Amino acid sequence: MIGPRRFVWAVETHYAPARADRRPYARLRVWGSDKTSRMLRTDLVPLSWVPGRPRLPGPRQVRAVIDYALGQGWQPEVPGTPFMLTRSEHGAALNLTDFALVDDLKSQD
């Protein structure tokens, strides 16, 4: 819960074969209290990692992403296309501990 709002989130691990280091990334998806709301989506790469052990963002990082997206105009209660946070548009402004935004890597899979 953030203020009076409830959020539901999911994280999936993916690998981008286009990356030489095969570093896994986390696809984060967030909705308002139900999945009929406008989704927030971003891909995050861990700043440090051990091969074979993917790192996923936890509640602290997810909260930081949600707070940032709300400040950038994400309105989860308004249906629409996913609200995307990419490195090219938001990477310099969103500072996460242990993770960095990356551009849409799924399209490269």
Q: Where are the domains of the chain?
A: 8-108
Alpha carbon distances (Å) from 7 to 36, 76, 77, 101, 106: 12, 9, 11, 20, 23
32 contacts 54 by C-beta, under 8 angstroms: no
pLDDT the model gives residue 108: 43
pLDDT digits (tens, 9 = 90+) for 10-54: 999 887 665 556 678 889 999 987 767 899 999 988 888 777 676
Place of tokens 């819960």: 1
pLDDT digits (tens, 9 = 90+) for 49-104: 777 676 889 899 999 999 999 999 999 988 889 999 988 777 778 888 888 888 76
